[in-house]
Chain A
Amino acid sequence: MYASIHAPGNLPALLECAAQFSPLVEETSPDDVIFDIRGLRLIFGAPKHIAEEIYRRLGVPGNVAIAANPDAAFFAARGIAGVTVIEPGCEAAVLAPLPLYLLGGSPELAHTLDLWGIRTLGEFAALPTAGIAARLGEEGVRLQRLARGSATRQLRLRTDPLEFREEFEPETTIDLQESLLLLAGRMMDDLCARLARQSLKTNEVRMTLKLERGADHVTTLRLPVPMLDAKTFLKLLQLELNEQPPAAGVKKISIEMIPVASRTMQHGLFEPPSPEPERLEITLARIRGLVGSGNIGVAEVEDTHRADRFVIVGQACSLRDAYSGAGRAGRMPAAGCKPAPHLKLILRRFRPPVHAQVWCSATNQPVRIVSAKGDWRVQACAGPWITSGDWWTEAWDWEEWDVEVTASGVYRIHQDRRARQWVVEGEYD
């Protein structure tokens, strides 16, 4: 048996009332709820008494209906004022006088039925099913079944959005990081336990500290893979707080974990090893604390002909693709690491490029270079190669040379043809 309540504009009251009777509640529309009342007979007695009890507890004006299937109860609650109890088998008779617009359906179908002179559910239910199927198709048959009160379905149960948040407001403000981490550790233990009960993990931990003065201090840990290890989170949090401590005493701590499904990854016997994500994340956080957050990650070369253009992709998430991709693309490593079969010349860059004075010959070839790296005589050179681009933003126009200098190495130099400035870009090594 199912009960439906219709009370326009009172959804919170409807949900609260339904929750008093059953955990299986469907939020059908902003004005209606349907819930399962099987088993309530032992508490309240006959369905009529159950309906009256629901109506009494509703607290706002509305209609209550009870029927053997959810849709019959829904239409009865929407169309019949007060309390209605439909005995099993009597659905069609009770719903028959109700107006047809309660069924919903597409405007074209409603227009067609209107042209046929069908105004009530009873008139629609009386039409032959084969004719409805031939003329109105599958939707027509479905609506006719609803009109007859014979449609059965499962409730689409309402579930509260999962929120994993813990808040704590200490009696006095917290000034020491150790005390803060002690409390944060306990809160994260609880959150991790709650996540574990739902078979979930998290890929983002957000800690908000309400300070004695000034704006809130927000620390966010973005993890490359879903994890559920409170100790790891605490260590990462400690490293973040070491880098950016709160500016004042803490009045309130709030920690939220964003739930995500666990990753499913099966490691193969013949795949190369890869770092354990939790451990690597802590390692990266430690190194980030040493060298700065912009100096660690994975390089991506920009799509341009301009030299030395790259970006460091991501921070903690930079190796995410590698985690998943490394094993699949790889094979069991050999006992050692062999050089690649093709040796291609690599340039070691000077960052920033070293400014230089260059003397050229009559044929416009560099013959002497003076820079912070030394005073060099050019033995051999190749060039020039003219490169230019980005005229629409930061235009560059270079003349590049490869030079071999006495008692040193082979370098790449270039002249900015606009500024007439020479620099040593790097060294071939």
Chain B
Amino acid sequence: MAAALSITRGFVPRERTDFLDSLLGAIPRGALTEISGPPSSGRTTFLCSLIASATANGELCALIDVDDAFDPATASAAGVRLAQVLWVRCGGNLDHAIRAADLLAQAGGFGLVAIDMGDTPVRIVHRLPLAVWFRLRHAVQNTKTALVSLAGRVHAHSCSELKIQLSRDRAVWRGKLPGRLLEGFSVTAQCVKNHRPEPRSFTIVR
């Protein structure tokens, strides 16, 4: 299933994102979800919206930031309650990130544990053996924790229950220089659920 969505720097009326719920449904708990896409495809925005939703419910979240790319200021503006987010900065060490994710998943009690590998080269993430993803999936199985990974491409194969692939159609600019503003992105999301890609696609115009 594919759909276009808009990501803006400002307030978005509710009706514009209702389609996202209908498209993606809910990120499953007790399972691994992969968010993938090239740079500037809205994947970090999507992840932060998940964290914002979980923290708004009063849950604790953990963000394992492999490349130290998380920006607390824009995340806070996007609705993330920073006081409920445990931020683990791994300084580019993917091995540490995976071990930290494993420990946090085993600890239990987190609503969402996210591994952000957005800036890690694809070839390095690809070197992770499949057993790592099996282990992580097993750690959250039968728990209330949603495990989410963010990377340039999907890597976990059959270990992930849901794969969301994002791609940027275009950046949306408003006005003319010198008063021009970056208003947001127009993004296409393709959702693969339960290993059965649904070919239906549609576009929503902003």
Contacts and interface: CB of A to CB of B under 8 A. Distances in A.
Interface of A: 271-276, 279-280, 283-284, 286-287, 290-291, 295-301, 307-310, 312, 318-319, 321-322, 325-331, 333-351, 363, 365, 380-384, 402, 404, 408-410, 426-429
Contacts, number: 258
Given A345-B182, A350-B69, 13 more contacts: A275-B110, A291-B90, A309-B73, A339-B17, A340-B52, A341-B14, A341-B18, A344-B74, A345-B78, A346-B78, A348-B69, A349-B71, A384-B178
A408 B60 CA distance: 34
B100 A287 contact: yes
Contact of B87 (A280, A283, A296, A384): A296
A150 B169 CA distance: 93
Contacts of B58: 271-272, 325-331
Interface of B: 5-12, 14, 17-18, 20-21, 24-29, 38-46, 48-50, 52-54, 56-60, 68-79, 82-91, 93, 96, 99-100, 103-104, 106-112, 118-119, 144, 146, 168, 171, 173, 177-178, 180-182, 184-185
A273 B144 CA distance: 8
A429 B44 contact: yes
Contacts of B103: 283, 286-287
Task: Give 9 closest A-B pairs by Cβ, nearest first.
Answer: A330-B58, A336-B26, A409-B40, A275-B109, A409-B39, A429-B44, A299-B72, A344-B78, A295-B89
B50 A340 contact: yes
Contacts of A300: 72, 82-83
A346 B118 CA distance: 13
B69 A349 contact: yes
B179 to A, nearest CB: 9
A190 B73 CA distance: 47
B17 A274 contact: no
Given A299-B72, A345-B8, A283 B78 contact: no
A335 B49 CA distance: 17
A346 B75 contact: yes
A290 B168 CA distance: 35
A342 B20 CA distance: 10
Contacts of B48: 346
A162 to B, nearest CB: 32
Contact of B83 (A279, A325, A346, A380): A325
B35 to A, nearest CB: 11
A275 B60 contact: yes
A363 B108 CA distance: 56
A335 B29 contact: yes
Nearest to B116: A348
A295 to B, nearest CB: 4
Contacts of A286: 103
A384 B28 CA distance: 42
B85 A298 contact: yes
Contacts of B180: 380-382
Given A301-B76, A341-B14, A345-B8, A287 B104 contact: yes
A337 B26 CA distance: 5
Given A337-B29, A345-B74, A409-B39, A402 B182 contact: yes
A287 B91 CA distance: 13
Contacts of A310: 72-73
Contact of A276 (B17, B108, B111, B146): B108
Max chain B C-beta neighbours (<10 A), residue from A272, A276, A340, A342: A340
5 contacts: A273-B144, A336-B28, A341-B14, A344-B8, A429-B43
Contacts of B100: 287, 290-291
B54 to A, nearest CB: 5
